[in-house]
Structure 1
């Protein structure tokens, strides 16, 4: 890579056995740059994965514009995630925020030295835990399609205007029922999660380009779950929408603990008593 570069950071990790260099060998990072490790001088087991990236793409003005470019953003996010997943396959990681850059590796090292104790404590807290994403959707179909009502025998005695209003009223009632069902599904998810999860982060529901798939996203949570309970968590949470037409529960993961790299502001879930 030619020209001026800055150091793009992916994650803090523990490299107790020195195997992470091998895990990252040949793995392309952001801008197809090689990934390397920056180590703390006082504790060589704690590392930050970094890549050199073009300065002109990550200065303040360029980054503001690039974050509006969905193709650029997706490319960076995929590379960011790829590196973190390679690390997470071998060790506990603290994913860093997307597009976090430092002037050079020495600035990364100074940051690592300054926050080493906090990083070490958080790595210990997240050891052998994974993140699951749980989204609840109110399906668009729950209120019937937003189209003029078809001619039916039931509407033959109504004027077109009254038939239209009747149809809209039925839509509204069905929609209200779906939202009530979504609240019930959310309670079921929370009840199921208490048997497994040790922490939860409540994210803002996704909208616009981020909201993929049918329906309206009304719940967007992340749960921190011990690895040995991962499949039990997934199985029980997916049952939360059973018997609730118009509601869909989506479970994604397991992931590296993206939402828990720093202590959550929300109060942690309490584990159910054995």
Structure 2
């Protein structure tokens, strides 16, 4: 059986042994007020020109609210984003729930805001297993034929691309490392989706937000894939700041993010990863990610036995 050599232990090490990145020549030192407020963003996967213009509108909004220069820096992946925060190379970014829990444990990263419905304050999205194979209709079909299938997870630090789908497979008696012909790790959800649609993999873990973006853009249709599994709701991403950001500036950043939905709704809708206009930003509460923390701990015990 052909299994990719990277083990779960190797994946965990990838998540926590982060790669140094240098985002700018401007050096912001520790707990001092920075010369420039730097926001790290993940590159958009659809409508790139339009989304970059919307990000620049967000930059201008932050400059006004924070009363200081703001610069945007493209960061590819969770590991460089976490290390950039830890090394004082950026002040703020967005991390998926699992990536945030890793960052919190390893670098003391702090959450400041999250997405939620304006009426309930609850925010969620979903993890999906998708396929284009006509002979796969249920997870039992996957279990029966796993030894002939190629599986794609997302980024190893992804909640919906790795943590949740791995847990689901284990609960259904499927061990990814031993049961599948091959297990791959894609850099992001777009890559996982494209790998499935192109036939390079048989089954992939993808978040519903990515699929919805491609459906809304007309790049794919619902007839292009089959959904084998949809998770329970997952706590949304955390907007986070580096741990030694001065308190006054952190408070300004929290207020700027939360107020944006009322004061500059078009800017918020432009940068929001979801199209639902009833989804706004709320101040973060640590307990929101407790379930993800518990899953991460169980995954660590599974890998290291302690």
Same fold (TM over 0.5): no
Using the size of structure 1 for normalisation, the TM-score is: 0.23
Question: In proportion to residue count, which structure has more strand?
Answer: 1
Task: Report which of the two structures shows the higher radius of gyration computed on alpha carbons.
Answer: 1
